[in-house]
Structure 1
């Protein structure tokens, strides 16, 4: 008992001393394009406050989520009178990122999308950029987003998008091709509730039109549909991801809900909700398991102009383009990523994947989602060419083949991880 008392008496002055250690200075190393004032606004550690290792660790994790930062670390040193100097060492990303996506359009022609974005505009982690797309018709868009425009929690974003595509509409016994033209602007606010949770709320005003592309169309099918709409969009993200260059661990959940008003008939008012859950786990020193579950629901179910599609780029690798449309969906993607080669800034990564999904057809009940006929499963493999010093600089190439009743296969090329 005496020994325990002596030990406590010995440790007590040390604990008191540690509690009184103050942060005397906060410095940053390695900054080139990132504005130091932004980082000072974001950190929780403060000068003249007690040193808190948990706050410093949270600051580092926050920095590692910024597009402009490839890797952040922290170190401490004692200065005069036992005070603490906290130093954040920053390795920056190159943030002016061109993008390219190529595919085959629904009419068999060559389709592509070109984009360029700056993810650290003015050194303030603002995003500015745009895209041009050719998918039988021409599309374009421009974006600006400043997540920390007003405070370290409150920001603003605006965009204008004119999206014109060539899309098949699947009627009961007939498939007809339509020119889909959607053009409009959106303004939205961004708010960080806490380190792991943030929300967006926006208003989108747009015009939507479907024009039949067939030279002769049966009078029983619509030839021209048009509606001016207003959409209110709400988004909520929970993020517990830990990012270390190409390796990711933890989970993230994103809920996107919108109410669209202004339509009628086949383009009626609707509620659309999509929830995406991602889970990542490190496997050994070079492996990464990544999985994604997506659930979607649309309130209107009597229109063949359904909002959700099954395709290569976003849902099932190997499926092709717009092979089905529906009003609710379940998609599951899982893949194992393994670092095959790592030399300085360059990483060669291989992956093997399985994608599965099911889509509720128009005018069908929700149990249509679990029907065997609606299930699509694809599996395949791919490679990733990664630049560790350029934000999202991942060139991916995947080849997927259908399993079971699925007979499609395809090569998918893009920039960035599939998810």
Structure 2
């Protein structure tokens, strides 16, 4: 008992001693490309303030969320006369990332997407880059984001995309028509981060949508348009609550991401491409299991107000929600998707991690022209369990090479392999 009291007293005295010390210096070690001035600008703790372990812990968590930081720690050195030196120790990521996704397109032919992004542009964790893809047709895009350009809380993002694809459109009479879909858009948005748990975006998108019937073995049914074109203006927004702690490949905590889009414009031809609202919320929960396990979960709820339009915004696709289902096999105007998986580290040495993955992907959709009850009556449910493998480089940002195999346990079962970069969610 006396020993416990002595230990408790020593801890209290040490805590009180630390709390009374002023931080006279803040140093950062380990950063090579990331600017020291940028990291100090983000930190809550400033020189001349009293040591606060809560604020230091917040800084460590904030640093770990940066693309350029693989891991972060700190040390405190007491100098004299009530002053101390705080040092943040950074393990820096390599942040210039090429990307390559390979799949089959809607014609059963070879499709790919190649990209290159720098997630630490100018040493300030700005994102700049672009992509080119071939999926029946050619598409490309360019992006620049500077989340802390104006202040530590306020930034900007700009992007342009020219996306062209072959899209199946499902009409009420049962016709399944393939269209060439071209979507060109320029987008600018403000990004605001009031604290390290919350982030908001508000932006404006100006673009055009163009649908053109593709000549095939299917004749164009009566009353189905051969071409559709519309100019669109959209107000876009996003709110993220993030309370996830990251330690290399492991995540623990909760995140919610709400995105919305108010679309208005004119087609000048008919009302099939009319004004509408799109909303989606991803709820994510991660839990460490022992030393090597990680349980990951995502619930995605999505709704669009253009419920009677055949041009539905939510796709059923390998890369988006259901692994093994195929490449954009269907579309809907509302959806509920649940992804749950257990990740287990099989081997870890230095920078390399080999991770296994067992998952279940399930979801239901409201068909164009359908009713919300379709989400719950079982008529549109898809259920795909599967297994996967991950090859992870701990010192390169988002360098997770994944390979998953999903299998449908329902009627008319399908299966497929899905390859990509980055965790599925």
TM-score higher than 0.5: yes
Partners of 1:359 and 1:115 lie apart in 2 by 31
> Normalising to structure 1: TM-score of the pair?
0.96
Displacement of 1:241: 0.5
**Equivalent residue, structure 2, for 1:291:** 297
**Equivalent residue, structure 2, for 1:26:** 26
Partners of 2:298 and 2:111 lie apart in 1 by 27
Q: Contact between 1:377 and 1:406, CA under 8 Å: does it hold in 2?
A: no
* Unaligned runs of at least 5 residues, structure 1: 1-7
**Equivalent residue, structure 2, for 1:134:** 134
Q: Contact between 2:177 and 2:213, CA under 8 Å: does it hold in 1?
A: yes
**Equivalent residue, structure 1, for 2:36:** 36
Displacement of 1:220: 2.1
**Equivalent residue, structure 2, for 1:154:** 154
Partners of 1:122 and 1:72 lie apart in 2 by 20
Displacement of 1:174: 1.9
**Equivalent residue, structure 1, for 2:379:** 373
Partners of 2:130 and 2:94 lie apart in 1 by 18
Deviation string 1:112-148 (CA, Å, 9 cap, x unpaired) is 1001000000000000000000000000000000000
**Equivalent residue, structure 1, for 2:209:** 208
Q: Contact between 2:324 and 2:416, CA under 8 Å: does it hold in 1?
A: yes
Partners of 1:157 and 1:115 lie apart in 2 by 18
> Which of 307, 312, 316 is the aligned partner of 1:306?
312
Partners of 1:159 and 1:318 lie apart in 2 by 31
SS of the residue aligned with 1:37?
A: helix
Displacement of 1:16: 6.2
**Equivalent residue, structure 1, for 2:48:** 48
**Equivalent residue, structure 2, for 1:225:** 228
Correspondence list, 1:173-184, <5 A:
173-184=174-185
The structure-2 alpha-carbon separation of the partners of 1:17 and 1:346, relative to structure 1 and needing over 3 Å to count, comes to closer
Displacement of 1:18: 4.3
Partners of 2:164 and 2:179 lie apart in 1 by 10
Deviates more, 1:207-216 or 1:329-338: 207-216
Match status 1:416 vs 2:425: no
Partners of 1:262 and 1:292 lie apart in 2 by 33
Q: Contact between 2:170 and 2:368, CA under 8 Å: does it hold in 1?
A: no
Partners of 1:13 and 1:288 lie apart in 2 by 38
Q: Contact between 1:176 and 1:214, CA under 8 Å: does it hold in 2?
A: no
**Equivalent residue, structure 2, for 1:62:** 62
Match status 1:195 vs 2:196: yes
* Unaligned runs of at least 5 residues, structure 2: 1-7
Displacement of 1:232: 0.3
Deviates more, 1:113-122 or 1:369-378: 369-378
**Equivalent residue, structure 2, for 1:262:** 265
Superposed structure 1 runs of 4+ greater than 4 Å apart? 8-18
Displacement of 1:404: 2.0
Deviation string 1:158-186 (CA, Å, 9 cap, x unpaired) is 00000001111122322111100000100
The structure-2 alpha-carbon separation of the partners of 1:311 and 1:78, relative to structure 1 and needing over 3 Å to count, comes to same
> Normalising to structure 2: TM-score of the pair?
0.94
The structure-2 alpha-carbon separation of the partners of 1:336 and 1:30, relative to structure 1 and needing over 3 Å to count, comes to same
The structure-2 alpha-carbon separation of the partners of 1:339 and 1:404, relative to structure 1 and needing over 3 Å to count, comes to same
Question: How many pairs align?
Answer: 413
**Equivalent residue, structure 2, for 1:83:** 83
Displacement of 1:20: 2.6
Displacement of 1:309: 1.1
Deviates more, 1:213-222 or 1:117-126: 213-222
Report the aligned-residue RMSD: 1.8
Q: Contact between 2:402 and 2:422, CA under 8 Å: does it hold in 1?
A: yes
**Equivalent residue, structure 2, for 1:3:** none
> Which of 386, 389, 392 is the aligned partner of 1:383?
389
Q: Contact between 2:354 and 2:392, CA under 8 Å: does it hold in 1?
A: yes
> Which of 334, 358, 363 is the aligned partner of 2:340?
334
Partners of 2:373 and 2:134 lie apart in 1 by 37
Displacement of 1:9: 12
